[in-house]
A and B are shown apart, each in its own frame.
Chain A
Amino acid sequence: MDLDFLRIVPSIPFILNGIWVTLLFVLVSAILGFLIGTILSLFKIGNIRGLKWFADAYTSIFRGTPLILQLMLIYFATPQLIGYDIPAFLAGILAFGLNSGAYISEIIRAGIQAVDKGQREAAEALAIPYKPMMKDIILPQAMKNILPALLNEFITLTKESAIVATIGFMDIMRRAQVVSANTYTAFEPLIFAGLIYYILVMGLTLLGRAVERRLRRSE
């Protein structure tokens, strides 16, 4: 066994800088995914047939194929199809945003449908129109179910984001690979990157628990 972390010490700041890159990437992807997920979930619970069908098909396709394939398709097919040389960041955001939109739409749909049916009836009996009913009555209550699951999705995104390294995006993972190539070390940079991911994920997990505790207390 020949592990020598001293060899990568000069490269540590370089890898650490990847934290912001990764976090920014995850954040933007999550926001995009949340927007798409919200819209899709409204399609799913609404009663317009075509939109429902679209949202279900969308979810099925994005959940039914590998994320890395979606990423590759967007990154390599975009230049070929429309002649636009798509940057890795944009391709990654699109793939992750579109993909997590499918998962988030299910989270939101389930959260909304878990709200007591009586709430909706009470609102309807009071002649409250659909939009304010959703915004003021149903969604605030659904958030209690949705928020913890959303944080889980965020954690998943953080881990899975490492696959954007495959298209050359300079996140934590990619930086570890670069260091590995430059220093002729196989393990040390990867183990270091793994440690960073683990700390990030643990931090988010603790945050999730805190949020859940607060939600439960406000019952």
Chain B
Amino acid sequence: MSNPYIKINNLHKSFGNLDVLKGISTTIDKGEVIAIIGPSGSGKSTFLRCLNLLETPTSGQVWIGSDELTAKGTDIMKVRQNVGMVFQHFHLFPHKTVLENVTYAPITVKGVEKNVAEKQAINLLKSVGLSDKANQYPNRLSGGQKQRVAIARALAMAPDVMLFDEPTSALDPEMVKEVLDVMKSLAHTGMTMAIVTHEMGFAKEVADRVLFLDGGVLVEDVPPEEFFLNPSSQRARDFLDKVL
């Protein structure tokens, strides 16, 4: 096998004396799409947030490319420039227009010139089907539109990895598809993606691999066909019985 792009080795995270991640080890190849599934409180968000250092791992190692995130003196900002994140509740900047939401980070962090950043942003907004909303404020958008802007905003930093934490969980049902479609086409561009999701159909269709977390333990780490048709653990079977 080729040299994996992301390597996670015995990752632990605790909050006080609550052990949330109890030694997770896996690898993710460049261009792979990973679905992270598991019951509430199993540590899915925490796991994801360790990959862009919104949470600091308690122990273990995480590499992205040649950078070890868990090394002493890692440049957190440099890591985050390379790892985009999309949140359940969008977190768009409400006082900035859609266009400003998308251009703010490239201009501020990377020093991209304003007109260059705006051109890029318009292209990104086109790719998520929202170029006509460039001058609107976020509160004028539907949930699905907000989330697509949030995806464009993250992509504007040209990251190599994209993290999604339940990107469709806060949406009305009729808006789930438009967001999943954007993610699907992003996956087709070869983006490396880690997606916490409850959309089993989407996971089945788009993911290259499913990570099933339960109680902070990585219980299954298999291709979706295997996970959905023939899970090896009782815990995964119980979980699937409940959600399918």
Contacts and interface: CB of A to CB of B under 8 A. Distances in A.
Interface of A: 116, 118-119, 121-122, 124-129, 132, 136-137, 140-141, 219
Interface in B12-66: 52, 54
Contacts of B5: none
B139 A125 contact: no
17 contacts: A118-B87, A119-B91, A119-B93, A121-B54, A122-B87, A122-B93, A124-B54, A125-B52, A125-B54, A125-B83, A125-B87, A125-B154, A126-B84, A126-B109, A126-B154, A128-B105, A136-B104
A125 B79 CA distance: 10
Contact of A132 (B87, B92, B108): B108
B105 A121 contact: no
Contacts of A136: 104, 108
B51 to A, nearest CB: 11
Contacts of B80: 124-127
Contacts of B154: 125-126
A121 B91 contact: yes
A132 B93 CA distance: 13
Most chain B beta-carbon contacts within 10 A, residue among A125, A128, A141: A125
Contacts of A121: 54, 87, 91
Contacts of A119: 91, 93
Contacts of B93: 119, 122, 137
B54 to A, nearest CB: 6
The binding surface of chain B is classed by DSSP as mixed
The binding surface of chain A is classed by DSSP as helix
A11 B89 CA distance: 64
Contacts of A118: 87, 89, 91
A127 to B, nearest CB: 4
Contacts of B139: 219
A119 B105 CA distance: 13
A53 B216 CA distance: 37
A128 B91 contact: no
B85 interface: yes
Interface in B67-92: 77-78, 80-81, 83-85, 87, 89, 91-92
Contact of B109 (A116, A128, A219): A128
Given A136-B108, A219-B139, A127 B87 contact: no
